[in-house]
Amino acid sequence: MLRKHLTTIIIFIITLAITVFILRYTSPILYPQAVEADREIVKLVNEVKSHVEDIRDLEFPEETNVVVITKEWVLKHWGPPPTP
């Protein structure tokens, strides 16, 4: 019985720690500058899209999907392969 309660408490503590970690590093409340920067990037992309449509006299066939990524993500996924 004691072991069952101890296991439950440990699982609760681990879950709480993971939740706090996720909220700490992904919450827009804690990083309002990042959220504002993302909005500005999307705004700029939409402005460029509008200019391209006007200059080239064309329309994009579908809504442009913008995903803002970090430098770390780029280096991890597109960077040079590690040297042996």
User: What is the tens place of the pLDDT at every residue in 2-48?
Assistant: 777 778 888 888 887 887 777 666 666 656 677 777 788 888 888 88
Q: Which of 70, 78, 65 is nearest to 31 (CA)?
A: 70
Query: Residues of 19-40 as b/e, b for ≥16 C-beta within 10 angstroms?
Result: eeeeeeeeeeeeeeeeeeeeee
Mean pLDDT of 65-69: 77
What pTM was estimated for this model as a whole? 0.44
Q: What is the pLDDT of residue 30?
A: 59
Contact 45, 51 (CB under 8 A): no
CA distance 1 to 20: 29
Residue 67 has pLDDT above 80, yes or no: no
Is the pLDDT higher at 64 or at 11?
A: 11
